[in-house]
Structures are given as C-alpha cells and as structure tokens.
Amino acid sequence: MDIKKLIESLSPNERKILPYIEEKKIDNICRKSNLDKVSVIRALEYLQNKKILNISSKKKKIVEIGVNGALYKKRGLPERRLLNLLSEKRILKLQEAQKQSKLSNDEFKASIGSLKKKAMIEIKNGKIILNTGKGEISKKMFEELFIDNLPLEYDLLSPEQSHALASLQNRKDIIQIKDEKTVEIGVTDLGRKIIKSDIKTKEMIERITPEMLKKETLWKGKKFRRYDVSSGVPAIHGGKRHFVNQAIDYGRKIWTDMGFTEMTGNMIDSSFWVFDALFTAQDHPGREMQDTFFINKKSELPDKKLVKSVKDAHEGKIKGSKGWQYNWDEKEAQRGVIRSHTTNLSAKTLTNLKKENLPAKFFAIGKVLRNETLDWSHGFEFNQTEGIVIDKDANFRHLLGYLKQFFKKMGFEKIRFTPAYFPYTEPSVEVVVFHPEKKVWLEIGAAGIFRPEVVIPLLGEYIPVLAWGPGFDRAIMDYYKIKDLRELYKNDITQLRKMKFWIK
C-alpha cells in the first residue's frame, strides 16, 4: 500500500495521535490528543499493524510504600518512637516502655526485635536498656531514609537499600513490591514519512447508513475512508455459560439420558433430614461443628408418625436392628444446618413416593457446604451429585451395572469397586477409576444400598434402594486440567475466556 492509500485508511483517532507518537509515553499522548487511554492504545495497535510504529512492553518491579508504611512515614517507625522514649529514660521496664510508647503488642515486639538485631538495646531482668548514643541512632535507622525515598525500582536498589528492604519486607504492609508494565513506542521510517505528510482530519465517510442508501446526495462526491481488510482487529469474546455450569448441565444430561428424574431442594434444612433420616447417629463426628455449618434457628419437623419411625430406628426398635443404643433427642434433630450433602433430598423423595409409581429413579446435582480448610484440594463449597433407584427387584449387581454405565458416560473406561463403610448404606463400595494420563487409580465416588433403618421409616416397608454419589468438582478439574480447586470459582476473566466448552 502506498503512502497516499495508507493515509486514506487512517481513522480519526489514528490521525489525532500521529503528531504526538514521538512523545513515546501513552499518558502524554492522551493529554495532547484529548483521547482516553483505551482509545489511544487501540489506535496505537492499529498503527502498529500498518507498520507505522512498533510497540514493545517492559516489566519492572517497583518497591512502593504500603498502608502501614505511609502511617509510619508520618508518625515514625515503631522502633523510632521507642528510641525517642529511651533516649530520655535510658532504662525502662518492658511493660512501662510499651505503655508510654503507645505501641500495639505487634509493633512493640517488632521494635524490640529490630533494635536487638542492631545491638541498640539489650533486655535484662525485664528491663530495656539503651546501648546506643544519639549520634549513632540516625546511622542505624537506615530504614527511615529508605521509606522516605520510595517508590524505587527494585533492580536499581543500592546494597544499603537492599539491606533496608530485607529488614522491612517481613513486617506487615510497610512496603510492597509491584510489577509495573511500561509501553515503549518506536516510530518506523514509514511512520516518519506519514507524520511529515498531510494527515489532517479530512471529511471522510466512515460507514454506510440506511439513510445513505436511500438518498445519494449524502454520499455522492464525498470521500470514503479506505479499509485494510487484512489488518488485525481486537479479539471479541462472546458470552457463554460459566464452564462449571456447562459441566453441571452435562451431568444433568447423563442422568436424564439414563431415565432419572431430578430432585431439588433448599440449601438450608433441618438436622432431621440431613442426618437423622439417614440413620446418622446424633453423636457421629460428621455432625460436629468442624464438619457442618449450623445456623441459629430451629427447624420444624415433619409429621409425628415419621419422626417416631426415625426415632425407633435410632433406638433399635426396628425388627432385626440394634440401632445406635442411645436415647434419640428431638431437639438435636431440630437444629438448622446448611446441607453438607444432597442425600437429604433422597430422604425427602422416599417419604413422598407413592408405591404405585415404583420402580423409580431420581438424581440430584447441587451445592453443599462443609466446614473445611480452604486449600488446593479442598473447598467449603462444592457441587455434589447423586442418584437413587427404588425397585423391589433391585440388587447389588444392578448397582454395579448402573455405576459402570454412569462413569463410562463421564469418560472413565476402566472402573473397579472396593468395599467401604458408610452410616446409611450396606453393603457399601467406593468407586475407583483409572486415570489414563496419570496412570493411577483414583477414588471418585461412593455407593451402596440404603440400610433398612433408612428405608423402613421413610417408605413404611423395606424396598431395595440403590444409591451413589460421585464427586463432581474433581471430575471438572480433571477435564479442564485444573490443579487447584480454588480456580473453579475465582472468576478470572482471562481464564474464563480461554476455557473450552464442555463437550464429550
């Protein structure tokens, strides 16, 4: 493209910034062109595509003053305030020194540690003794000069400044190190020729409107801006569902394809449905505060007949069961909780099930909360899924068949089962799948047949109920190659744009 055609392709914003691109600083270009930063950056990118300039970026670390550092710059570092007090008294009891200096416990401890390292004080018999003359104090308090000179470029620090940085770095919010990105603009030979040419904004038609097509006087004899169709344009990111929600939709499709009906319910429920109806003993460790989020509200219990049936199951009054050998407490069952699993939905579904509708199959996918310490492999909030099959003819072999079919649809070809124990199923198994990339067997779900102590109070008689609940969030992590569970919910816009659609 020759210079004339290139000039004709320049947009109004490109023409506005061209006279100032030799400023080489975006802020200066914004100020002189009266354009906002986004418009300037976009225009610069277009000019780079046209070989008029080159843009390069450089990262550097900057040492800046922190929140506490700004406060100490006004008031003085805690150790300086302690030194000012000691320069008058020379010797003070520890408690008296903290009281008179008006330092917090953390500040006082940090001051003592810093001054002892510099051999400016010593502690004897519960007293602080100043060991430094007034002339030496300023020399040894080199951190003060360092704070006064901030911000500084990390890579250009002198040895003395690096020493001061190391001294302050472990103290809360006194200094902070940030990455700063600077953009450098270089004008090409072609760019210099363009700048010397006549690039004043000319009246050009930027776009064709419906009115122009109706009335030719609006465009006839006028100049259209030339477009370079090969020039790069900013990436456009269309809207899409969050990848976790996509995965949940896929899981829901697996269940419905297998003929299951969805169960739904509230996040907050009573301990009766979350624990007692599932034959979980009231002194079971899983009901304690370290695992469950309790709420300060009593929940209503269902009808008395059902409550009595559950009570009888716990106290061993069901034929063939010893129960848990204790007196069941109705008040404990009324405690409100945020559900720690979705199996409370299975219990409620069994209660409302009409026998003429058997056999039946149900599933649930929903969030649950547990009082877990947050780290790369654990979260206090996560998605759980589960299914139940109620059928008088169902047996353990059917359960294994359902499990194989379900996990095959989830993408796992090699599956095996190991014996396990859970409070409300017997027999119970854990589902282990082979990870083809990691070449290891991974535990991914739990399953079993509901115990009579669960089924009889809810259905009025024993009917086999197959149940299983795979871990769902970890399956999502595996599919998206995510190594830290927290990345599922941090909502990093860059990550969300790059995520592929959940397609199996």
Please, which pLDDT band fits residue 456 given cuts at 50, 70 and 90?
Answer: very high
Pair 346, 263: CB distance under 8 Å: yes
Residue 70 belongs to some domain of the structure? no
Tens digits of per-residue pLDDT, 340-374?
Answer: 888 999 999 999 988 888 899 999 998 888 877 77
Q: Is the pLDDT of residue 150 over 80?
A: yes
In total, the chain counts a number of residues equal to 504
Residue 238 belongs to some domain of the structure? no
Tens digits of per-residue pLDDT, 106-116?
Answer: 888 888 888 88
Q: What distance in Å separates the CA atoms of residue 392 and residue 190, rounded to the nearest whole number? A: 84
Pairing between β-strand 360-369 and β-strand 381-390 as defined by DSSP bridges: antiparallel
Q: What distance in Å separates the CA atoms of residue 474 and residue 446, rounded to the nearest whole number? A: 14
Instruction: Give the number of other CB atoms < 10 A from CB of residue 362.
Output: 20
**Does 356 lie in the same domain as 326?**
yes
Work out the percent of the chain whose per-residue pLDDT is above 90: 20
Work out the percent of the chain whose per-residue pLDDT is above 70: 95
Distance of CA 330 to the CA centre of its chain: 39
Tens digits of per-residue pLDDT, 313-335?
Answer: 999 988 888 888 899 999 999 99
**Does 215 lie in the same domain as 83?**
no
Q: What distance in Å separates the CA atoms of residue 275 and residue 316, rounded to the nearest whole number? A: 17
**Does 357 lie in the same domain as 313?**
yes
**Does 331 lie in the same domain as 204?**
no
Q: Is the pLDDT of residue 198 over 70?
A: no
Mean pLDDT, the chain, rounded, equals 84
**Does 408 lie in the same domain as 296?**
yes
**Does 449 lie in the same domain as 341?**
yes
Tens digits of per-residue pLDDT, 290-300?
Answer: 678 888 888 88
Residue 303 structure tokens? 């009808």
Q: Where are the alpha helices (DSSP H) in 132-202?
A: 134-140, 142-148, 159-169, 189-196
- Structural domain span for residue 90: 78-140
Residue 462 belongs to some domain of the structure? yes
Tokens 């899409």 belong to 240
Tell which of 120, 140, 160 closes a domain: 140
**Does 111 lie in the same domain as 34?**
no
Residue 464 belongs to some domain of the structure? yes
Please, which pLDDT band fits residue 251 given cuts at 50, 70 and 90?
Answer: confident
**Does 313 lie in the same domain as 283?**
yes
Q: In what order do the strands lie in the sheet with 335-338?
A: 268-270, 335-338, 293-298
Tens digits of per-residue pLDDT, 215-236?
Answer: 888 888 887 877 767 666 667 7
**Does 345 lie in the same domain as 218?**
no
Q: Does the CA dihedral 401-402-403-407 come out positive or negative?
A: positive
Residue 455 structure tokens? 């089924």
**Closest Cα partner for 380 from 338, 410, 411?**
338
**Does 371 lie in the same domain as 292?**
yes
Please, which pLDDT band fits residue 13 given cuts at 50, 70 and 90?
Answer: confident
- Side-chain half-sphere of 270: how many Cα atoms within 13 Å? 17
**Closest Cα partner for 303 from 324, 277, 275, 323?**
277
Q: What is the pLDDT of residue 334?
A: 92
Residue 425 belongs to some domain of the structure? yes
CATH of the domain at 339: 3.30.930.10
**Does 412 lie in the same domain as 298?**
yes
Specify the pTM. Answer: 0.58
Residue 411 belongs to some domain of the structure? yes
Mean pLDDT computed over 7-23: 83
Per DSSP, 499 falls in state P
Mean pLDDT computed over 134-148: 80
**Does 309 lie in the same domain as 276?**
yes
Residue 400 belongs to some domain of the structure? yes
In this structure, which amino acid lies at residue 72?
Y
Q: What distance in Å separates the CA atoms of residue 107 and residue 169, rounded to the nearest whole number? A: 15
Q: What distance in Å separates the CA atoms of residue 96 and residue 50, rounded to the nearest whole number? A: 72
Q: Is the pLDDT of residue 127 over 80?
A: yes
Domain total of the chain:
3
- DSSP code string of 292-336: -EEEEEE-----HHHHHHHHHHHTT-STT--TTSS---HHHHTEE
- DSSP code string of 122-146: EEETTEEEE---HHHHHHH-HHHHH
**Closest Cα partner for 343 from 365, 361, 360, 321?**
365
Pair 504, 412: CB distance under 8 Å: no
